[in-house]
Structure 1
Amino acid sequence: MATDTFPYSFKVNAASVVDKDHKMVVEPDAAGLKAIAGTYDLDAISDLKADFRLKPYRKAGLRVVGTITADITQTCVVSLEPFDSRLRLDVDRTFEPHSSRPAKTRDLNADGEIEIDLETLDPPDVIIDGVLDLGAVICEEIALSLDPFPRKPGVEFKAGEVDDSLEEDKSEEKPSPFAVLEALKARNED
């Protein structure tokens, strides 16, 4: 997981979680909230809290289990009005210091196509240089949960409804080229 690509970082030494669970609460400051909101096209994030439990996983890995709650403000794609909503995300991810993902050649079938088994669990993510960035985990979870076309509750787009200003623009459109040709043809016949 490359932390350079995320707007917020909260790094934890993976070696510190060896034989027992560690409770970790992550609450970004105002600058962190602003950076996350700006990166994911949110109007604002007024509150964000990640309540994690870090557990040992296999020999040198970690399991991150917990919840992320966030109060966000988005713009409705239908009404263009800002609206508030609350995210509650359950997190359960595993991390290892090396990649346990199968080699690319093992993912290919006889036709050279990649086969994906939707029934198997995702392989663990990778811990880079002994450091796990919980800020990156938070950012990924938020990014994956956001609706790309957010709608304010109760607002619906109804097909066939046209804004009055659009109707006025329609009446001022240029005539079609065929109508111009028909008018020229009629004038030449006279």
Structure 2
Amino acid sequence: MTQNDPKAGEFRVSGLSTRHPTGFDLQPAPAEREAIAERLGLSALKKLRFEGEIAADGARGWALQGRLGATVVQPCVVTLVPVTTRIDEDVERIYMPETQIAKDLEPGAEIEMPEDTSIEPLGRVISAYDVMIESLSLALPQYPRADGADLGQAVFAEDGVTPLKDEDTKPFSALAALRDELDKKS
């Protein structure tokens, strides 16, 4: 049976206080940060901290609010030079019983993605550790780029053929140039 362990970030819902928020402060050790970095495809994870609290929200729901702080190193998408990024994010999750989330659905009905993506189904355990990893993953830059790194322009064509450039693929730029030319004449 899982006991509430703020250091591990695992909280049994039945053990949470409905009157007072339960705090947590997760700061993974270097070996654990290294494992997280490998899992997320990072070159390094220098710092990671997730602190916050879990409090009762309504009659049967729970709210997790926290602050994620991390320093990550990723390879530049252009040069592969290491790029260090600081991440500071507010994190919020609302845990509700599945019956409350899907109360108006008929069996087999299609559902749309809700606008509020912070709502999660409530299980027996709330894992602040899992929320930390998910939030870090979502906050990572998708295309980290070193200062001054530029893709430049690659031009490819067969022998005897005029290469197609980026400007040539933008038909409205030619129309805009024509409009500007006509405006000058009028």
Measured after TM superposition, the shift of residue 161 of structure 1 is 7.9
3-state SS, counterpart of residue 101 of structure 2: coil
Preserved CA contact (<8 Å) 1:67 1:91 = yes
- Structure 2, unaligned runs of 5 or more: 1-7, 160-186
51-60 vs 76-85, greater mean Cα deviation: 51-60
Q: Using the alignment, how far apart are the partners of 1:46 and 1:93 within structure 2?
A: 25
Q: Using the alignment, how far apart are the partners of 2:30 and 2:68 within structure 1?
A: 17
Q: Using the alignment, how far apart are the partners of 1:143 and 1:107 within structure 2?
A: 31
Q: Using the alignment, how far apart are the partners of 2:138 and 2:118 within structure 1?
A: 18
Preserved CA contact (<8 Å) 1:25 1:51 = yes
- Structure 1, unaligned runs of 5 or more: 1-8, 109-113, 163-174, 176-190
78-87 vs 88-97, greater mean Cα deviation: 88-97
Aligned AA (2:145): R
Matched, 1:85 2:85: yes
Q: Using the alignment, how far apart are the partners of 1:39 and 1:73 within structure 2?
A: 14
Q: Using the alignment, how far apart are the partners of 1:17 and 1:151 within structure 2?
A: 45
Matched, 1:149 2:143: yes
The aligned length equals 150
3-state SS, counterpart of residue 23 of structure 1: strand
Structure 1 residues 132 and 77, CA gap change in structure 2 (3 angstroms): same
Preserved CA contact (<8 Å) 2:92 2:118 = no
Measured after TM superposition, the shift of residue 146 of structure 1 is 1.6
Matched, 1:125 2:120: yes
Matched, 1:139 2:133: yes
Q: TM-score, normalised to structure 1's length?
A: 0.67
Structure 1 residues 55 and 153, CA gap change in structure 2 (3 angstroms): farther
Q: Deviations over 1:132-163 (max 9, x none)?
A: 1111100111111122322123322222389x
Q: Using the alignment, how far apart are the partners of 1:89 and 1:98 within structure 2?
A: 27
Measured after TM superposition, the shift of residue 45 of structure 1 is 0.6
Preserved CA contact (<8 Å) 1:61 1:97 = yes
Which residue of 2 is the match for residue 160 of structure 1? 154
Q: TM-score, normalised to structure 2's length?
A: 0.68
Preserved CA contact (<8 Å) 1:70 1:86 = yes
Q: Using the alignment, how far apart are the partners of 2:42 and 2:91 within structure 1?
A: 21
Which residue of 2 is the match for residue 40 of structure 1? 40
**Percent identity of equivalent pairs:** 22
Larger Rg: 1
